[in-house]
Every structure is written in structure tokens, then in C-alpha cells.
Structure 1
Amino acid sequence: MATTVPEPPLAAPDPVAPRLTVEDLSVEERAVLRAVGRGLNDTEIAAKLGLPLPAVRSCVTRLQSGLGQRDRCALIVYAFDHGVVSPATPASARRRTRTVTERVRPRLRIAALGPLRAWSDGTLLNLGPVQQQAVLAALALRPDVTVSRQELLHDGWGLEAPQGNVVQVYVYRLRKCLQSGGGETVISRDRLGYRFVGQSAELDVTRLDALGVEAETAWHDGDLASAVEAHRRALELFDGEPLAGLPGPFAEMERVRLTERRLSLTTRRAEGLLRLSRHAQAIDELWTASVVHPHSEAVAALLMRALHESGRRADALAVFTRVRRLLVDDLGVEPSERLRRLHYAVLRDERPRPTLALRSA
């Protein structure tokens, strides 16, 4: 009689191989890991640390992958096991934690790449009515530049500027709201007007500029991987429409400028992804960009290239048909000659060359 040999039990799946340790994390990543370990959700972490929500979500995903943890619960356990969080932290440790956190960013942070917001020591501030916020934006986005009272009236109200001392009142309120822990004012005044003291706060727009320079330096040095990574970090700073909901000519002008900057960063990053042959990733990001910027020929051209080089010729042709219809119906114009040449190249099933010169981000 044949003997049945029992099958060995299935082995538990191996954990994800960790690529990082706590020592490898940046100070900001440690702060996010600490907040996760304390049970905060992504929205609460974004508010506490003054980070855009997409950046927090991306950081949590990187932490799970880099530290070899399968899910958020495992990440919480990891934070406790490795001393990032403890059930009862002594006062001396709390002081050390505070010192580390303060080194991440200044006491005051201002975000304009979304709704205008400000944090002091991680606490979200109430910036008052939208007209008061418009005054703050007109000052903070021109750090260390003196802006006259008349300019601030025009920036916030345009041709409907009110009479009286409304600017002085708003600046007084903003000074009280934004005053640093040491008592220094962040808005100074001289005989010509008001000036936002640049070193008193960290602005996400300033960080955006720095990352743009970092990306372009890497690009020109031939380090495309570092360039697209810097572009990714720059794009994560955006948390919706810049200065969303703020009135006045200055806010509208900055909204347009920063939206164009976002589009430029997106196309520059996509170009880098294509050169690195990361077509699937480029296609995903360009599809999203085409929804936000449906009339952008730069986005359409890059998406057509990515699809065609991936063997999806019919999809590439469909992109041209869609963008041409939108341009004709909404703007009354035909696609540019460059985009048409790309269309002909795809029709002939030729490998298209870059057709739209992308400006530096």
C-alpha cells in the first residue's frame, strides 16, 4: 500500500528586504516616522509638520518600502522597536526631539503652493480673512522687498481699493499672528512701506526654486536620475491650485506664474523619464497632466512620444486627435507645426524625435 508523504508546511512569506535603517533617514523622514508611530494619520501629520499632504503620503510609502515594512501597522511597530517613539518619553528626550524638529525648518513656515497657510512651531495659524491673506501673500512672496501701501492696496483689491487705513490694520494683525517666538516681527516698516523679512520664515516657493536649480544642475551634468528625483520633490510641494481662493491682481498673477512653473516642471521631469526609458511612469504622469492642462501641446507631444515608443501607436494618434479637437473647439486654433510633424511621424510609424523645446524649470 502506497504511503502518502505529507507536504511540508508552506513557509511564511519573507518580509520585504529593508534597504534603509533609522540612521539613514533624513530628519524630516524621522519626523514623519515618529508621527506615524504616534498614531497620526496622513492629514494630521501634514498639519503638524507643515507639509503638503501628497508629500506626507509619498514619504510614508518610501518609509514602508525602504525600511522593509509591509503596511502602516508594521511601520508603527518598527518606530517603537527602534526607539523612534516610546510610550513615555522623558522630558530630556522631548527637549532633544524638539531641537531636532527645529533644525528641520524655521519656527515659521508659509505655504503658497496651494491654499495660503502658515505654521508656527508646527501649529497651523489663523491668517484671518482672505483680503488680509492677500496682503500677506503680496509681502511674503516678495521677501526683503519694500512694498508701498498703495501697491498693497492695488495688489489686494485692484481698481476697487478701499479708502482708509485697511492695509495698516491688516499688517498689524499679521504681525501679531506671525510674530516669532523670540518676539521679532516678520514684517518691518520704513518710510517707503512694508517689507517681509525673508530669513524669518521658510517659504515653499523658495524651496521650489532651490529644487529647480538642483534639478537643472543635475540635468546639465548628465545625471538624469537625480534630475527627475529633484523634479519629483519639487512637484510634491504643490498642494492644489497656488494661492487658491485669494483675491486681487497680485494673487491672480502669481497663480498663473506658479501654475506655469508646475507645468514646466512636469514636462521637464517627463522628458527625463523618457530619456531614462521609464515609459510607463512617464505615461502615468503625463495622463494626469493632460487632464489638468488639456490644451498643453508640450504635454500632448510628450505623451504621444511615450505611447509610441511603448508600442501604443493607436493611443498616441488618439492623443493628437483629442488635443486638436480641444484646440479648435475651445481656442479656435490648429495645433502647431511641430505637433503636426510629430503626428505625421507617428502615422508613418517612425520613432519621433523631441518636437517641443522644453524650457528649463
Structure 2
Amino acid sequence: MATWESGEHEPLPHMRPLLADLLGVDAARLDDMINEAERPSSRAAGAAADERVRRSQGEWLAVRRAAARRGRELSELAAWLYPESVRAWDGHVLAGPGWLLDTPIPLEDVRLEFDVTHPAAPPLTAPLDGVLPLTDRGERYPSYSRAVRDLVLPRLLENRVSYRLLDVRAEEGLALRFGTTTFFEVFDVKEYVAHEFKAAFVRSRGSVPRLDDLPIRAGVPDPFDPHRWLVSPGISTLTIRHDPVAGHRFTLHQRDPTAVADGGGMCSVVPSGEFQSSTTAATDVRNDFSLWHNIMREYSEEFLGNPEHDGAGTRAIDYAHEEPFTADAVARLQPRLSSGSASLLRTAWRDRDLLLAC
């Protein structure tokens, strides 16, 4: 079939009736189709279409690769497109109203609310042709995540349920309201605006783009409006090892850009991860709706190497009776820990005191 479609060979005579029946055409129409494929103009058109696809995919990949080496710098430049009122202290990070607290608060003072009637994911109004390449068929890719899955190594495979932030209230501690979304939904919208910014930066040979040059980003004037923008937070836990001999230390992790499709090169504390449920089951979406549960699973995966707790599980986790979570709960109540994991004390740091800050 491939050699027939490419025009390298014609179907043999005894195969033509079967092929005509398969295509739903008569013998005369099949002969016309074969003759059209043999015409130089048809082959030239096909070659031109193939070149258009290769150019589209090559340019798209070049933007991802060229700008990836300057990811942090570009992120900081993009933050300066917004007014000072929504930028954090140093101006390089965006923060919504009430998101930054004057003093740390205990984890138990963070109240989570689950909203089952949350609004649907907001659509983007600006055209996406400039940030999506062509498929091998010459059509525009339907989403950024699908293009990454097909064109980028390593491939992006896991599309799990994520908790979607809907509201932040700094009252009597901190109140956070959530609905649900998916990892791919959030990945798509953030990569659209990131790719748009990178492409404009590359086209201008290093000049900082203006908001007028970024129609997708400009179409969402308030990035903290949950009705206009998807926000799915991650949880990063600073783990400090108290050691009066060697000095207090903490662990960092840099994401290998050759091993991940998202966040390559990012350096963060350990553990860190998306605020997600452990499975896609509706019962687990509610069972895992806890900052502490998410932190314990990240410790289990990243420090203890338990693959069953990496968020791709197939069964519900019994946090009250299943290790290492029962030991974690006990350790959190001990005066030697502000928060923490007894399993980590035994296996990773040999019974050192730990101070954990989420």
C-alpha cells in the first residue's frame, strides 16, 4: 500500500478489482486515480506539501530548543509584561492578590475546599496557528500536548487529573478552593503563551516582545482570573537536615531536559510535584485532596523510590494503615519534627532531626 500511495509501483491487474471495491469506486475511477498519481504535477504538489510540513515542524522544534537554554531568563522577562501590582518582591514572578503571606503558617492552618460545580475550562480566543505545527497529513495539530507527544523526545504520556485552583483567601490562615482539570489542559495553555513569547523573542533577535506582539497572552489580561485562565499548582517542600557537625543542609533537584518534556532545566527543592490525585478514580480524587497526602506521596516516590506512589497508581491508598504513610503521620506529631517522615529518618538520614517547610 505504501508503494502504491507514493507512486513507486502500480497495483497489479488482479489486485485492482479488490482495491476498487475497498475504495468504493468503479474500475474507471480507479484508473483515473492511478493516472493522477503518476502525473508530474501531482507528485510536485505532494513534494511541496511534504516540504511545508517539514518546515513547519522544524521551525516549531527550533523555537522550543533555542529558547530552552534561556528558559529562566525568558520567564523573568515575560513577568515584566505585567504591572507591578501582580509581581512578587523581586519583580520576576507573578503573584495574585493575597497569594504571598507576611509570615509562614502551619500546614494544618491551610484549609482546602473542593468545588464540584466549578466553571468549565476557559477557552482561548486568539488563533493558535502560530504556536502549533502541522501534522504529517498537513493539518494543524489540535493541541500542544499532542504535538509534543508526536515530535518531542522524551514523549509526554501521562494525562492525569490535576486539582485546579479557583480561589485564594488569606483569612484565619489560608483558604484554597479547588476544582479539577487535567495535566494536558494546563500544559497546553501555559505552553501556548510560552511558545508565543519564545517565537517573538527569536524573531526579534533577542529583543523583549511587547504585549501587543503576543495575541494569545494579551487575550488573558488577568492571569489570576479562574474564569479566564487555568491554574494548577505544584507543591514544593523544603527539607532541611539539622546536622550540628556537617552543617544544616537541604536537597535540590535539577530536571534533566533530555529526560522530561516539561520543565527541563528547572532547579527546585525536593520533593516537588503537581497537586494531583494518585489515580483517575473519582473516589481517589477526593481521597487524595490533601496537601499532606500529596507531600507524603512525593517523599515516598522521590526519596524512597516507591513507583506505586508516583501518581500513576491503579488502587486507592490507605493513608491511615499503609506504610510509609502511617509512620509519616506518627512522625509529624513528634516534637523533633515540624513536619516529616519517620521512614525518611530511618532510611535516608539516619535519625537526624528534620524541619520541613511546604
Instruction: Provide the TM-score with structure 1 as the length reference.
Output: 0.25
Larger strand share, 1 or 2: 2
TM-score (norm 2): 0.25
Query: Greater share of helix residues, 1 or 2?
Result: 1
